Amino acid sequence: MEFQPTSSFTFVLFGGTGDLSMRKILPGLYEAHRAGMLEASGKIVAVARHADDRDGYLQWVNEHVKAHVSTNGIDENAWSSFLERIEYVKLDLGKAEDFVKLRDAVQDLPGTRVFYLATGPSLFVPICRALASVGLNENARIVLEKPLGYDLRSSNAINDAVGEIFAEGQIYRIDHYLGKEPVQNLLALRFGNALFEPLWRREWVESIQITIAEELGVEARGDFYDNTGALRDMVQNHLLQLLSIVAMEPPHSMDSDSVRDEKLRVLRALKPIDPRDISKVAVRGQYHAGVIRGTSVPAYATEPGVKTDSATETFVALKVEIENWRWAGVPFFLRTGKRLADRVAEIVVNFRAVPHSALGSSALRPGANRLVIRLQPNETIRLYCLAKKPGEGMNLSSVHLDLAFDQFFKEGQMEAYQRLLLDVIHGRLALFVRRDEQEAAWKWVEPILNEWAASGKPKPYAAGTWGPAAASAMLAQHDTCWLEEEN
């Protein structure tokens, strides 16, 4: 497979010894390097304070990154040449002279400068101001990780401060779900084929489910998570971004603003949540002790860093409506949670049953025709329909058609972070969140946040289950159920 390498670049990674850098960012850059997708002169400058020098940092990288490289394993020659790209600057964010040292380290390096802030959001503004103080904000790109703020007000405060230093076209707010291969294929299926577009509307779609479920708990992030919760951590960004991709109108082109304009229209068309109706359309839960795959796990309230009387939600299920011509009356069910029965992220499009069946009642049941887009753990797209069972009589059974891209394309799938990192280096903004998108999402979730802050505790659910029973009851009111409940 031949790739077009990037133009030259200097990639400056703040939080260079952090978990995100070790698990996602450096593995993504290594995979791009191994595939020949990075310009040979491009450099990676890691910024941290834990390692004393470059040798110490490279030892840290050797110990912590290799385990997170894809199933292709490590090519030792490629790994050695990848490490040659890496420089290191020991930096204390509280010392202005350290940013002078960073400027001196990068000023003679080639290409576009990318500053990736793999840090907590409280450091975004101080880092940006310090970069500007030494003139490193010009002709550069800045990548901001989520969460960007705690609510609309704090998000705007960060965006205002960063926007004084970097223009909107320089700011890349990352949401790695938008870089996943099946999400890209969803765009291709919808806008590259005539097959689905006539069906992709209220006349033919009964309901849509979007689920991001995790088996893991809060791990070592108890302090962070207890002040965040599932609504801020997953719904405001990942789930609403996926919703906007599913529901958007066809853009006139795939340039960055055309795509993001259409996503913004969806977010602005979300039916506002009336605080009096939140109990009907929103379910929050918190996991208690349970068993996952034969292993006992503790309750959320006993996790390190979590307050014993915490009212933070670890599960959210929502019924969402879009008030526009295409989707009026179609319920979108969003769900996310920790310590659930399985690790899965998927989009389920349930098409309406045929209006009349001469073949028996099975052709009239909901979900007989559906499209399931699996984002993780295995990335697939599967179309379900009915077919006749072999033998006597006209007996129907559900069958599926797999869109097996790996059977047609010999290239390996690109990981989400790898794709997004290359997009930053190339200057492509389409898969990154624009400020007005982010504001629209915060405005929509804020009534839920405010109501939950003023009301009682989340509903309990046992770890290893699919969340509170109320989440299933919410769907039952619409004569449907979550995909796993059908079996």
Residues catalogued as catalytic: 238
Q: Is residue 334 within 8 Å of residue 210, measured between CB atoms?
A: yes
Look at residues 67, 11, 83 and name the one whose alpha carbon lies nearest to residue 42: 11
Q: Is residue 53 within 8 Å of residue 19, measured between CB atoms?
A: no
Look at residues 483, 484, 424, 426 and name the one whose alpha carbon lies nearest to residue 144: 424
Q: Is 195 exposed, middle or buried (0-12, 13-18, 19+ CB in 10 A)?
A: exposed
Q: Is residue 306 within 8 Å of residue 480, measured between CB atoms?
A: no
Q: Is residue 45 within 8 Å of residue 3, measured between CB atoms?
A: no
Q: Is 139 exposed, middle or buried (0-12, 13-18, 19+ CB in 10 A)?
A: exposed
* Residues paired with 397 in a beta bridge: 387
Q: Which two tokens stand for residue 312?
A: 């933070």
Q: Which two tokens stand for residue 288?
A: 């208690």
The whole-angstrom separation of Cα 293 and Cα 291 is 7
The whole-angstrom separation of Cα 186 and Cα 182 is 6
Q: Which residues neighbour 129 within 8 Å (Cβ) at sequence distance 6 or greater? A: 161, 165
Q: Which two tokens stand for residue 358?
A: 């001469």
By three-state DSSP, how is residue 129 classified? helix
Amino acid at 76: E
